[in-house]
Structure 1
Amino acid sequence: MHRIVIVGGGAGGLELATRLGNRLGRSKRAHVTLVDRSATHVWKPLLHEVAVGSLDTNVHQISYVAHSHWNHFTFVLGELTALDRRTKQLNVGPVLETEGMEVLPGRSIEYDTLVLALGSRTHFFDVPGAEEHAIALDSLEQAERLRKRLLQACQKKTAHSSTGENPVVDVAIIGAGATGVELAAELRRMESTFKDFGILAKSPQASLRINLVEAGSRILPALPRRVSDSTQAVLESMGVSVLVSKAVTEVRATNIELADAQTIPSDVSIWAAGIKAPCVLGSLDGIAVNRINQVKVSRSLQSETDENVFAFGDCASCAWTAENMVPPRAQAAHQQAMFLFKALCARLDGLPLGLFQYRDHGSLVSLGSSTAVGSLAGLSRGGKIFVKGYVAEFIYAALYRKHLMAVSGVRRAAFAIAAHKLSRMLSPRVKLH
């Protein structure tokens, strides 16, 4: 059978593997394999909720082993380390347990068609101390690490405060894109729950002092100005200090330094300032990449240097217009997964692949359980329709429901949503341990 190997089980990679497994794997027309360094999948836009403890990962994560069994593809646990295009083999590194003992050895996997969907990693821009002292939000493990750091910082400040003193925990979020903005709003909701359960002092004054730092002239620079201004107004009404045109020059254990010599105290520093593709892509055999390691692909999503290698999502550099590239968004990965599903089926039939055309449906930013702002593609040529409040929040929630249905089907998605609702009724708003 034709061997299709997909590396990366993010939103796009998992959706593609699921669709190909159910179409080609079930009928024995192709052998579909998904490779990922993690055992479970969590939708990346939800990691900021994991970081503040407001999302139950046991409900929302998908086991790759179980999912592959149900959807007629094979799952391989491990991380891509090398590629030999001549023999059409990729190398997967060994899997180690927590103590460093080897669980699975390194392996080689043969392919006829290779799809790279490794997503993106945090770009620290070589800022001194950033990787050492700031926490990123690339994975479930990092989100859990941030949650524990926040909880411990709050417990420590409260335990060591004097009677009558209002302990303040300083949090610095570096980067005011969608992740930084949504995290700032979630932290305010976390603070309220911590006060209810005595982890923070029940004071009318803010116990979390949140600074959102952006090097650009405005927050959410990739979104329309109206969305940016409206979002900043909501954040400031929550008591979040928004600092724009402030480049970070150094991150230390207890503070961050800005280019204008200003020092901001920080008990917990979070880096959400930029992305790049995984470094391994830049080392692969003859695969052309750009300056941030994204694979250069044609409009058919094939590598410019190998027609048997495809790439999509955050790890691919694909032209949208003559001036712009396809943006690193979840909607782009979904559209490209749908295109590749049809293109790879056509490839097995000897038909043309076609050309990918990105359609921008707008963007939404969640600022709480009933607050969201964004812009949606209008029905006329006028461009975007500005939305906010409950309507925007409903649409934002629907995006995740759509992702669940794409990878799990309607029935399992419905059970997952119901389990989430029950979990919210039977447990505190955020995880307290």
Structure 2
Amino acid sequence: MHRFIVVGGGAGGLELATRLGDRYGETRAKRGRPHASVTLVDRYPTHIWKPLLHEVAAGSMDPFTHQLEYAAQARWHGFEFQQGELAGLDRAAKRITLGRVYDEDGAEMLPERVLEYDTLVIAIGSTTAFFGVPGAAENSIALDTVEQAERFRKRLIAACVRAEHRAPERVAPDAAADAPNIAPNAATEAEPRVQVAIVGAGATGVELSAELRNTAQVLSAYGLHNLDPRHDVGIVVIESGPRILPALPERVSSATAELMTKLGVRILTGERVTEVAPGVVRTASGKAVRADLTVWAAGITAPGVLSKLDGLTVNRLGQLVVRRTLQTENDDNIFALGDCAACEWPGHERGVPPRAQSAHQQATFLFKAFGDLLAGRPLPEFTYRDFGSLVSLGHFSAVGNLMGGLIGGNMLIEGLFARFMYMSLYRLHIAALHGYARMVLDTFAHWLRRTTLPRVKLH
């Protein structure tokens, strides 16, 4: 019986494990179908679609109603779940080591374990890169996990409540020119009572800024604070490059910047952050931006454990270097997908981009390729298809570009249609995990729940 192990329960890893379990797992074996052992490994017990973490941070999504229990998914789809963090790899013996798991009180819950495999898929995603900036890791919040997103949300509410009982600060006319975090005409106006600084204007930073504007309005409407949600709650996005959304086409960047400005989000481009201190973000040009809360969304890197895995080749970002078959360069029995894999993209200078659609396409590819593997046929080569990118600006709007096979070109979209397309991406992920019938029911259930709940999680 062939043993598949998928390490990492993100978008790609969980979709792959689910489909392998449906095809080769225990339920299929009972019907006389080919049988294989499928095991999913993740350090957390639950899954949430990572592109939604900015909504969790803003409070517009309750993570506990959208989380999926890995153990339940395993039971429903014929695979096994093992909780634990990848700690080691023995390629000669074909086995991985999982680290100990501790409960909330620090007591050991699961011991160190060893799992044996025939085919190993590593899909552990990425983590925030602080680039060695002094104070960034200590004085800012990343959005890699639900816990971090929830911590930011609670701190934002607390900051608004505290600010309501603090006298507003006035800016002296002779100091306005030396206060780069205040608009030029603000010499006689009050500073924002609460200011959030977002370092990095990629998709996460941009989407969070728009969601926070909505959050400030809802918190005020429900009486958690009496601040003016537009003038008393300041949002500043700091980007080292010349424009926001540097990975997307310039016209998408320009349209998004225009919409952000209308929402009252201040954008600082060409400002490289050199230090994050308590209450302030400093840049290379000498600016000191006041920040009651700082979010770091300036880049990603591969988890450090990848560079310690028994001689597997990694690139300068720490990603596992894979061939077009998604097999690692050093071992035909080890595959990698998603953000942690460096895969060639023929015809492009850069490799396959670290996006959710990349992980989804690679998971679909490996599911089909493993059928060839079990049948003893040669493995096909993966080809990435870029269908465009979408950026959500909360319930206000969305901006993006559609390209490739969908429309036969490249088209800028925004507004309601773009918002619908963005929301459909998550629904397609749910369909990949549960099927289209359950996806429709899940969509209706969440819509019904939202009719009886506030638009933002208040506590």
Shorter-chain TM-score bucket reads over 0.9
1:235 and 2:260 are equivalent in the alignment = yes
Letter in 2 for 1:38: Y
Against the structure 1 CA distance between its residues 332 and 318, is the aligned structure 2 distance closer, same or farther, given a 3 Å change threshold? Answer: same
- Aligned mates of 1:110, 1:378 — CA distance in 2: 41
CA RMSD of aligned residues (A): 1.7
1:409 and 2:449 are equivalent in the alignment = no
**Structure 1 position 303, deviation (Å):** 0.3
**Structure 1 position 202, deviation (Å):** 4.6
Q: Which of 225, 230, 253 is 1:200 aligned to?
A: 225
Against the structure 1 CA distance between its residues 194 and 125, is the aligned structure 2 distance closer, same or farther, given a 3 Å change threshold? Answer: same
- Aligned mates of 2:48, 2:353 — CA distance in 1: 21
Check conservation: 2:160, 2:225, Cα contact below 8 A: yes
Check conservation: 2:324, 2:344, Cα contact below 8 A: yes
Secondary structure of the 2:235 match is: strand
Against the structure 1 CA distance between its residues 204 and 332, is the aligned structure 2 distance closer, same or farther, given a 3 Å change threshold? Answer: closer
1:103 and 2:119 are equivalent in the alignment = no
Mapping for residues 126-275 of structure 1, pairs under 5 Å: 126-161=132-167, 168-203=193-228, 206-275=231-300
- Aligned mates of 1:203, 1:130 — CA distance in 2: 29
**Structure 1 position 153, deviation (Å):** 1.1
Check conservation: 1:56, 1:420, Cα contact below 8 A: no
Secondary structure of the 2:23 match is: helix
- Ranges in structure 2 where 5+ consecutive residues have no aligned partner: 30-34, 170-189
Against the structure 1 CA distance between its residues 241 and 262, is the aligned structure 2 distance closer, same or farther, given a 3 Å change threshold? Answer: same
Deviation track 1:261-297 (CA, whole Å, cap 9, x = no partner) reads 1100000000000001110001111111111110000
Deviation track 1:408-430 (CA, whole Å, cap 9, x = no partner) reads 11232223212211221111110
Counterpart position of 1:43:
49
Letter in 2 for 1:209: G
Q: Which of 350, 360, 371 is 1:345 aligned to?
A: 371
- Aligned mates of 1:263, 1:374 — CA distance in 2: 32
Letter in 2 for 1:288: T
Counterpart position of 1:64:
70
1:91 and 2:116 are equivalent in the alignment = no
- Aligned mates of 1:157, 1:133 — CA distance in 2: 20
- Aligned mates of 2:250, 2:68 — CA distance in 1: 36
The structure with more radius of gyration: 2
Check conservation: 2:216, 2:229, Cα contact below 8 A: no
Counterpart position of 1:19:
19
Counterpart position of 1:124:
130
Against the structure 1 CA distance between its residues 38 and 300, is the aligned structure 2 distance closer, same or farther, given a 3 Å change threshold? Answer: same
Check conservation: 1:157, 1:167, Cα contact below 8 A: no
Secondary structure of the 1:307 match is: coil
- Aligned mates of 1:377, 1:162 — CA distance in 2: 48
- Aligned mates of 1:382, 1:338 — CA distance in 2: 23
- Aligned mates of 2:230, 2:85 — CA distance in 1: 46
- Aligned mates of 1:150, 1:420 — CA distance in 2: 25
Check conservation: 1:122, 1:276, Cα contact below 8 A: yes
Secondary structure of the 2:333 match is: strand
- Aligned mates of 1:355, 1:176 — CA distance in 2: 34
Counterpart position of 2:399:
373
Deviation track 1:12-48 (CA, whole Å, cap 9, x = no partner) reads 0000000000001133421000000111110011000
Check conservation: 1:59, 1:419, Cα contact below 8 A: no
**Structure 1 position 152, deviation (Å):** 1.2
- Ranges in structure 1 where 5+ consecutive residues have no aligned partner: none
Check conservation: 1:366, 1:373, Cα contact below 8 A: yes
Mapping for residues 276-355 of structure 1, pairs under 5 Å: 276-322=301-347, 323-355=349-381
- Aligned mates of 1:27, 1:52 — CA distance in 2: 42
**Structure 1 position 110, deviation (Å):** 0.4
Check conservation: 2:339, 2:354, Cα contact below 8 A: yes
Counterpart position of 1:77:
83
Check conservation: 2:168, 2:193, Cα contact below 8 A: no
Check conservation: 1:33, 1:74, Cα contact below 8 A: yes
Q: Which of 427, 441, 446 is 1:420 aligned to?
A: 446
Q: TM-score, normalised by structure 1?
A: 0.97
Against the structure 1 CA distance between its residues 167 and 325, is the aligned structure 2 distance closer, same or farther, given a 3 Å change threshold? Answer: closer
Range that drifts further, 373-382 or 391-400:
373-382
- Aligned mates of 1:271, 1:91 — CA distance in 2: 31
Check conservation: 1:219, 1:244, Cα contact below 8 A: yes
Q: Which of 401, 410, 419 is 1:384 aligned to?
A: 410
Range that drifts further, 172-181 or 362-371:
362-371
**Structure 1 position 403, deviation (Å):** 0.5
Against the structure 1 CA distance between its residues 396 and 289, is the aligned structure 2 distance closer, same or farther, given a 3 Å change threshold? Answer: same
Q: TM-score, normalised by structure 2?
A: 0.92
Letter in 1 for 2:91: R
- Aligned mates of 1:381, 1:189 — CA distance in 2: 32
Against the structure 1 CA distance between its residues 167 and 241, is the aligned structure 2 distance closer, same or farther, given a 3 Å change threshold? Answer: closer
Deviation track 1:360-415 (CA, whole Å, cap 9, x = no partner) reads 00000011225111100155997311111111111111111101000111232223
Secondary structure of the 2:426 match is: helix
